[in-house]
Chains A and B, each alone.
Chain A
Amino acid sequence: MEGVQIGVLRRDGRTDAFFDGTAADRLVIKRCAPCGLWFAPDQVACPGCGDEELEWAPAAGTATLVTWTVTHGRPADDGTAPPPAFLALVELAEGPWLHARLDGVDRAALREGLPLRAAFVHPGEGESYVLFRPAD
């Protein structure tokens, strides 16, 4: 995988359902059923009704590209720099946006609305995580 090395992820008590999901190749996000609203996984309360006990619900795992950046690490003293990382805001099919990392993308093909699909990575150390790849 290209780019700045992805760090080791740990649970913090609020992320169990999310990481249980990524471990099983599922993207789970937050939902307020009474309001019919979907939220990103880090949402703490529903702005519609104030509920702070938002339920976890499986997302389709499909998304579109909103905007992107290619980050470049600071060059080392010997002039070498880490390979660039493709980062993005993606819009899930359900509506919420996620700050995400892209994988397997062609720089020239990046455009607003590019169809994406969640892909799950299971590192040897730490929790599984989700990347987004171009949908075939």
Chain B
Amino acid sequence: MGSGASIVGLGMTELGRVYGRSPRRFAADAVRLAVADAGLDLTDLDGLLVSHGLGGSPGIELADTLGLRDLRLLSQMNSFGATAGAMVSYAAMSVLSGAATTVACVFADAPLKPKQSAGSAYHRDAPEWYGFGGMTAALGFRSVNAFYALAAQRHMARYGTTSEQLGAIAVSTRQWAARNPLAQMREPITLADHQDSRWVAEPLHLLDCCLVSNGAIAVVVSRADRAGDLAQPPVHLWGWGQGHPGHRKERGSEFGLSTGAATSGPVAMKMAGITPADVDVAELYDCYTYTVLVSLEDYGFCGKGEGGAFAASGALGPGGALPTNTGGGQLSAYYMWGMTPLSEAVIQARGQGGERQAGKNDVILVSGNGGILDHHSTLIVSPHRKGA
């Protein structure tokens, strides 16, 4: 098959406690970096897909900021943490259909302010509260941590998942981060460190929760038959999918027990012509350790309810059967929503992972998760053309 789509460029700004740049500036910088990485010029872009964090910027005015002209594709997309996968799949379909030839997809956010804790960037406080949303916050749901804690606790109660099993994910992810110069947190941790870290929202310890980062990441998508002429090894897109379970808050809901990965995964894997056993590396959205655990189950890497035992077996770390979040993920490296797992997948597929490069990288699965497990996206990428 000669006409697939590929990721041909990756641009990452400085990530983490980086101040003095607006999200729009970060986004523009990342697009420039991605285009240069591909060996292209900004004038080669004829498509731009934009997504932003909770700050609400940038939008499609980013095209003007970059001075892009005569675009054939320009849109802002939002399915929260699932957006990166959604943007790349839309870009892939656009270049395959001929609607565009060269599409940049970018995410930017800058929630951290100087002298402010990471937690407070996503924490709500107010002297008084309005409406039903305000009432929930007033009663104590002041950040997203509590909502994910409810999900994790339900999984524990139903399947016997333990905090130590969640801790195994924190530890293996940090083992990878220690090998990644881009990671914010590289000091090794033990299971005891995880257990001793303060409670945020039981059953979640501090070391179950992701970082908060400023910055932007962009990728450039083009046709595979063109990618060979460009500067970087192409990363071929074998499959993509989404899953939006629409769990209602009512009797019978599967909230916390299963996620959109149960839909998204099979769709993407069927398109790619693979099964879970074919996946060499998994880059899973890890806003919390629990998110990784439930995603492993829903993708079929282990049975439902067996995610804890699978993680505790050592499968996810260096030398394990399923190297997972090889860059340190959102837990230990950087929190750029769905661009965190995607960027590491590109690096691994290119074989540019240095000290952390996975030995076998033929098939890499990338996930995105948005809302409180409301939205999911999947990409299957490879250094090889599909069917080659």
Interface positions of A (Cβ within 8 A of B): 3-4, 6-12, 14-15, 18, 39-42, 47, 66-72, 74-75, 84-85, 87-89, 91, 95-101, 111-112, 126, 129
Interface residues on B, range: 35 or more
Whether A74 pairs with B132 at a CB distance below 8 angstroms is no
Nearest CB in chain B: distance from A66 CB, A: 7
Whether A67 pairs with B151 at a CB distance below 8 angstroms is yes
In the assembled complex, the Cα of A4 lies from the Cα of B134 at a distance in Å of: 15
**B135 — which chain A residues lie within 8 A by C-beta?**
9, 15, 129
In the assembled complex, the Cα of A88 lies from the Cα of B137 at a distance in Å of: 13
Whether A42 pairs with B132 at a CB distance below 8 angstroms is yes
Interface positions of B (Cβ within 8 A of A): 117, 119-120, 126-142, 145-147, 149-151, 153-154, 157-158, 198-204, 248-251, 253, 255-256
Instruction: Apart from A7-B128, A72-B201, A97-B253, list 19 A-B contacts with CB within 8 A.
Output: A9-B134, A10-B128, A12-B130, A15-B132, A15-B135, A42-B132, A42-B133, A69-B153, A71-B149, A72-B202, A74-B120, A87-B146, A87-B201, A95-B251, A96-B250, A97-B249, A99-B139, A99-B147, A112-B158
Whether A4 pairs with B140 at a CB distance below 8 angstroms is yes
Whether A9 pairs with B128 at a CB distance below 8 angstroms is yes
Whether B146 pairs with A75 at a CB distance below 8 angstroms is no
Whether B150 pairs with A69 at a CB distance below 8 angstroms is yes
- CB-CB under 8 A for A96 and B154, given A4-B142, A9-B134, A129-B135: no
Whether A68 pairs with B150 at a CB distance below 8 angstroms is yes
Whether A112 pairs with B157 at a CB distance below 8 angstroms is yes
Whether A8 pairs with B138 at a CB distance below 8 angstroms is yes
**Nearest B-chain residue to A19, judged by Cβ:** B135
Whether A71 pairs with B139 at a CB distance below 8 angstroms is no
Whether A12 pairs with B131 at a CB distance below 8 angstroms is yes
Whether B139 pairs with A100 at a CB distance below 8 angstroms is yes
Indicate which residue in B137, B153, B200 contacts A72 across the interface (CB closer than 8 Å): B200
In the assembled complex, the Cα of A4 lies from the Cα of B145 at a distance in Å of: 15
The 7 residue pairs across chains A and B that have the minimum distance between CB atoms:
A7-B138, A69-B149, A42-B132, A67-B154, A97-B249, A12-B131, A70-B202
**A67 — which chain B residues lie within 8 A by C-beta?**
150-151, 153-154, 157, 256
**B200 — which chain A residues lie within 8 A by C-beta?**
71-72
Indicate which residue in B126, B150, B198 contacts A89 across the interface (CB closer than 8 Å): B150
Whether B250 pairs with A97 at a CB distance below 8 angstroms is yes
**Nearest A-chain residue to B138, judged by Cβ:** A7
Listed A/B pairs (26) with beta-carbon separation below 8 Å? A3-B140, A6-B138, A7-B128, A7-B138, A10-B128, A10-B130, A10-B134, A14-B131, A39-B250, A41-B132, A47-B248, A67-B150, A68-B153, A69-B146, A69-B203, A70-B201, A70-B202, A84-B202, A89-B255, A91-B251, A101-B139, A101-B140, A111-B157, A126-B128, A129-B135, A129-B138
